[in-house]
Amino acid sequence: MDPYEELTTTVRQLRCEHSHPCQPPEGTLFEPGPCKHCGTPWVVTTAQGMSEPLRAELAKLLESAAWWTKTRGMADRHALNVARVINGKTALR
C-alpha cells in the first residue's frame, strides 16, 4: 500500500461509524467480523479505544498529511507511523 493510500485509508477508518457484524456467517457475538463500511478488523477497533473528539482530530491531521504526501510525492514519516499504529501495524523505524 503506498503512503498516500495508507493515510487516506486511516482517515476513512477514523471517520467511520463502525458496524461489526455479530451474526454468522460474518461474525459471532464473541468475535465480530470486520466493519461493514470500512473493513476494519474488530481487534483493531477494540484496541484503539479512542474518544470521538480524538478520532476527529486525528482524522484531520492525517488528512492534511495525506494531502502533503500527494502534493510532494513523499510521506511525512511521523504521520505515516501514526496511521500505522492506528491500523494495528508496526510503525516505520
Binding of Zn ion at residue 15 (CB under 5 A)? no
Give the shortest CB-33-to-Zn ion separation in angstroms.
Answer: 11
Start-to-end CA span in the chain (Å): 17
Q: Is 30 helix (H, G, I), strand (E, B) or coil?
A: coil
Binding of Zn ion at residue 44 (CB under 5 A)? no
C-alpha cell belonging to residue 68:
502533503
CA 90/CA 63 separation, integer angstroms: 20
At 3, the amino acid letter reads P
Binding of Zn ion at residue 35 (CB under 5 A)? yes
Choice between 41 and 64, CB closer to Zn ion: 41
Binding of Zn ion at residue 86 (CB under 5 A)? no
Binding of Zn ion at residue 38 (CB under 5 A)? yes
